[in-house]
């Protein structure tokens, strides 16, 4: 796919947003230089080693480099040479001392751009930044501009990329959002996206910045809502999967993001909900709904350890538990705010022996769980060997194809806690497993065939038992 004309673009930051954005803009026929201050990342990229796992991205990077549309550098002067557009795509994590977004990397990038820029250009805020950040970046550019008379305009262009499908999301977006006090600058950025034939929304700076936060907060709300409903379903004996399906047929609601489970994780939803809550509080407001969304999500992670404990009779001391899936979602190796970390820590705190496996997140998981007594395994069957329970934490496709007969033969007890509701309870129970899902009626094993007796307390987790056996 080629655009109507090549532009010179500088991308600052080579994380998920920066690398995907830069590579896809190069794929559209632009001349793109990706800059990062971490020399090891740039050296790796020059040698074809990506710092992240993202399906399809490695091949697209290789093609764009081979066509000379994409290059990498640590040198601001080189990256900015002749650049018509500068995209700031650096991290904006939660600040160490509060829920506000930490803007230090954005501010550093803006200062460096001002010090090295010698010609007019458009600066595009691609990172998720608090409302008002466009003004901050504009002020920094003016304050630190090394050469007089250099004109810049700032455009907010929030990203809506999902890890695991980021390339597809960039090339086939639902919409492109742009905001600026300079309409002409916003329209110039819009031209970069014209080959994608996507709806383009142009607003003022503050509105564009707010659209990103509002969108993520709404999606997080849907996730926490269905998890709240799941808890009620468990207590009353209803099936949350069927409830979500029934709700989803209503076009006012929709089915997306109504999957009960462990809740949201990753680098976006948690920090964006927290940052929006902080901004609202700073404005003298009391964002009750946002606070509840975050609280429900935190509770949901603790629920899984409780389910495992209940399934094993209330005592996890010395019990062996397999964790299947560690990345915060499938098709990524990202462990940032991964629910698996909370689950593992809770199980270890209760005395469990933890074995774990993830198809992709080997190294990132070892780093995230450094200092924890976890045995990392090469496959799911190795992980469950001799275990009293197995917990599906990440919904990797390979887990949908598990051989239950083989699992059952390897495990000390046939207990499966499915925090992603991958299977139908009756089918798993028919395979001889005690199956515990989220918001779905408990299914006792159909036949243990002489396996270790499952504790009688298992029956107490059913919705009927919770209602007094009715």
pLDDT of residue 447: 62
171-180, 300-309, 430-439: which has the minimum mean pLDDT?
A: 300-309
pLDDT of residue 217: 97
Q: Does pLDDT of 463 surpass 70?
A: no
pTM: 0.90
Q: Does pLDDT of 459 surpass 50?
A: no
pLDDT category of residue 5 using cuts at 50, 70 and 90 = low
Q: 45-64, pLDDT tens digit by residue?
A: 999 999 999 999 999 999 99
pLDDT of residue 461: 39
Going 251 to 253 to 259 to 263, the CA torsion angle's sign is positive
Q: Does pLDDT of 450 surpass 90?
A: no
Q: 87-97, pLDDT tens digit by residue?
A: 999 999 988 87
Q: Does pLDDT of 23 surpass 70?
A: yes
Long-range contacts of 44-49 (CB under 8 A, 24+ apart): 45/14, 45/19, 45/72, 46/72
Q: Which among 34, 233, 268, 377 is annotated as catalytic?
A: 268
Could you give the 3-state DSSP secondary structure of residue 389?
Answer: strand
CA distance between the termini of the chain = 62
**Residue 338: CB atoms within 10 Å:** 28
List CB contacts of 321: < 8 A, sequence separation 6 or more.
308, 347, 352, 353, 354, 355, 387, 388, 389, 390, 391
Q: 158-207, pLDDT tens digit by residue?
A: 999 999 999 999 999 999 999 999 999 999 999 999 999 999 999 999 99
Q: 123-153, pLDDT tens digit by residue?
A: 999 999 999 999 999 999 999 999 999 999 9
Q: Does pLDDT of 4 surpass 70?
A: no
pLDDT of residue 190: 98
Q: Does pLDDT of 396 surpass 70?
A: yes
Contact 189, 85 (CB under 8 A): yes
Q: Does pLDDT of 295 surpass 70?
A: yes
Residue 24 among the catalytic residues: no
Q: Rounded mean pLDDT of the chain?
A: 93
Q: Does pLDDT of 456 surpass 80?
A: no
pLDDT of residue 100: 87
pLDDT of residue 468: 39
Could you give the 3-state DSSP secondary structure of residue 201?
Answer: strand
List CB contacts of 127: < 8 A, sequence separation 6 or more.
13, 17, 88, 89, 90, 91, 92, 106, 159
pLDDT category of residue 376 using cuts at 50, 70 and 90 = very high
């Amino acid at each position: 796919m080629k655009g109507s004309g090549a532009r010179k673009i500088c991308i600052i930051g080579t994380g998920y947003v920066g690398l995907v954005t830069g590579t896809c803009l190069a794929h559209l026929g632009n001349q793109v230089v990706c800059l990062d201050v971490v020399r090891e990342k740039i050296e790796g990229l020059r040698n074809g080693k990506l710092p992240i796992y993202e399906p399809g991205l490695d091949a697209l990077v290789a093609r764009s480099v081979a066509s000379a549309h994409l290059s990498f550098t640590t040198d601001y002067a080189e990256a900015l040479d002749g650049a018509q557009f500068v995209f700031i795509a650096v991290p904006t994590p939660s600040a160490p001392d509060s829920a506000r977004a930490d803007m230090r990397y954005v501010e550093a990038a803006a200062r460096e751009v001002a010090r090295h820029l010698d010609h007019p250009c458009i600066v595009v805020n691609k990172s998720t930044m608090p409302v008002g950040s466009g003004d901050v970046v504009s002020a920094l550019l003016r304050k630190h501009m090394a050469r007089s008379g250099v004109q810049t305009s700032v455009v907010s262009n929030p990203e809506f990329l999902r890890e695991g499908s980021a390339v597809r999301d960039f090339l086939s977006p639902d919409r492109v959002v742009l905001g600026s006090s300079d309409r002409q600058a916003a329209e110039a950025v819009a031209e970069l996206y014209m080959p994608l034939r996507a709806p383009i929304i142009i607003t003022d700076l503050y509105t564009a910045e707010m659209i990103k936060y509002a969108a993520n907060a709404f999606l997080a709300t849907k996730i926490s809502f269905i998890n709240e409903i799941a808890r009620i379903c468990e207590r009353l004996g209803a099936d949350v999967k069927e409830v979500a399906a029934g709700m989803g047929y209503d076009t006012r609601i929709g089915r997306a993001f109504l999957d009960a489970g462990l809740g949201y994780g990753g680098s976006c939803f948690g920090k964006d909900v927290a940052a929006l809550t902080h901004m609202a509080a700073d404005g003298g407001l009391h964002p009750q709904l946002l606070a509840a969304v975050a609280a429900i999500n935190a509770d949901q992670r603790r629920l899984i350890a409780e389910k495992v404990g209940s399934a094993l009779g209330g005592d996890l001391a010395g019990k062996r538990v397999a964790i299947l899936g560690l990345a915060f979602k499938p098709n990524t190796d990202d462990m940032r705010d991964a629910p698996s970390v909370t689950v593992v820590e809770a199980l270890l705190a209760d005395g469990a022996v933890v074995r774990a496996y993830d198809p992709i997140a080997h190294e990132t998981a070892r780093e995230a769980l450094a200092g924890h007594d976890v045995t990392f395994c090469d496959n799911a069957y190795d992980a469950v060997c001799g275990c009293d329970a197995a917990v599906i934490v990440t919904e990797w496709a390979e887990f949908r194809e598990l051989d239950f007969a083989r699992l059952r033969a390897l495990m000390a007890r046939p207990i499966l806690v499915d925090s992603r509701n991958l299977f139908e309870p009756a089918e798993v129970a028919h395979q001889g497993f005690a199956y515990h899902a989220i918001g779905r009626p408990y299914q006792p094993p159909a036949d243990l065939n002489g396996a270790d007796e499952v504790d009688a307390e298992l029956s107490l987790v059913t919705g009927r038992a919770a209602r007094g056996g009715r």
